Amino acid sequence: DAKTTQPNSMESNEEEPVHLPCNHSTISGTDYIHWYRQLPSQGPEYVIHGLTSNVNNRMASLAIAEDRKSSTLILHRTTLRDAAVYYCILNFGNEKLTFGTGTRLTIIP
Amino acid sequence: EADIYQTPRYLVIGTGKKITLECSQTMGHDKMYWYQQDPGMELHLIHYSYGVNSTEKGDLSSESTVSRIRTEHFPLTLESARPSHTSQYLCASSELGTNTGELFFGEGSRLTVL
């Protein structure tokens, strides 16, 4: 499976945007890029996914580099509730999502 | 809102006991998964199922077993619990292949074996 690399931790001021990076230099052409987040004491929840084009939904935006070797999850206006571990995951159809260590996002009031 | 439920949420049990962690989903999803997660650590896939009567081992070896007799249920069983089994167990389901479909997770079952 292609692996992803994320910073262990990041901080963001409340009500400011935050950009969470993910490197996936060994991504294959059929790999989708998924983002999940895990709030404290909860199971992970889906955030967004994409293949080649940038994607937007009510939670976040996903910016995918033209060569697809990296992507960025953008939270446009963070709240305290966005404090969580964010996982960037690649999947190419074996239907088993492999979670890494993710990025622990801390929101500063 | 995800309709996937796990019981019990918390369980403290003595060594050697048999335990079953229940997972139910009302979304009609064919695919279901069990992940294991120690505090502050990664999630590891231990079992998955593509539908009724289908069960597969995940990436992390586990002494637990699973069954899939009904679409909506995917229970996990430990025949003889040991302290090394202390962990959080997370159940998930998906409708389509996870390439395009999202995984819905339950809130988890936190198991402590004394």
Which tokens hold the place of A46?
């889906």
Q: What one-letter code names the amino acid at A77? A: R
pLDDT per position as a tens digit, A48-95: 999 999 999 999 999 999 999 999 999 999 999 999 999 999 876 656
Residue B98, pLDDT > 60, answer no
pLDDT per position as a tens digit, B19-51: 999 999 999 999 999 999 998 888 999 999 999
Phi/psi at A7 (5° precision): -65, 145
Q: Return the higher-pLDDT residue of A97 and B66.
A: B66
Predicted local distance difference test score (pLDDT) of residue A91 = 78
pLDDT-derived band at B107 (thresholds 50, 70, 90) equals very high
Rounded percentage of chain B residues whose pLDDT exceeds 70:
93
Which tokens hold the place of B20?
């079953």
Longest dimension (CA), chain B: 42
Predicted local distance difference test score (pLDDT) of residue B34 = 96
Closest chain A residue to B105, measured at CA: A43
Our CA-based measurement puts residue B35 at a distance from the nearest CA of chain A, in whole angstroms, of 10
Alpha-carbon torsion, ordered B16, B48, B105, A70, to 10 deg = 130
Q: What one-letter code names the amino acid at B105? A: F
pLDDT-derived band at A3 (thresholds 50, 70, 90) equals confident
CA–CA gap between residue B68 and residue B91 (Å, rounded): 13
CA B48 to chain centre: 8
In angstroms, the Cα distances linking A33 to A26, A53, B78 are: 12, 11, 34
Residue B102, pLDDT > 90, answer no
| Contact residues on chain B for A2, CB-CB shorter than 8 A | none
User: How many C-beta neighbours within 10 Å does residue B110 have?
Assistant: 19
Q: Which residues pair with B57 in a beta bridge?
A: B47
The single-letter DSSP state of residue B2 is -
Residues 7-36 of B with CB under 8 A from A: 31, 33, 35
Kind of pairing between the strands at B4-7 and B56-57:
unpaired
Which tokens hold the place of B39?
């505090």
The single-letter DSSP state of residue B73 is B
Which of B27, B45, B94, B103 has the most A C-beta neighbours within 10 Å, making it the best mutation to test the interface with A?
B103
Q: Return the higher-pLDDT residue of B62 and A106.
A: A106
Our CA-based measurement puts residue B108 at a distance from the nearest CA of chain A, in whole angstroms, of 6
Residue A1, pLDDT > 60, answer no
CA–CA gap between residue B41 and residue B101 (Å, rounded): 25
